[in-house]
Amino acid sequence: MIEPFDDTYFMKKAMQEAEVAYEQGEIPIGAIVVVNNQIIARAHNLTETLNDVTAHAEMQAITAAANFLGGKYLIDCTLYVTIEPCQMCAGALFWSQLSRVVYGARDEQRGCIAMGTKLHPKTKMEGGVLSAEASQLLKQFFIEKRNLN
Annotated binding residues, written as ranges, equal 56, 86, 89
Active-site residue 58, yes or no?
A: yes
Coil/strand/helix, residue 75:
coil
CA distances from 32 to 60, 109, 134, 142 (A): 9, 23, 14, 23
Given 26, 58, 84, 133, the catalytic residue = 58
Rounded-to-integer distance, Cα 4 and Cα 115, Å: 35
Q: Binding site residues for Zn(2+), as ranges?
A: 56, 86, 89
Neighbours of 139 (CB within 10 A): 11
User: Active-site positions?
Assistant: 58
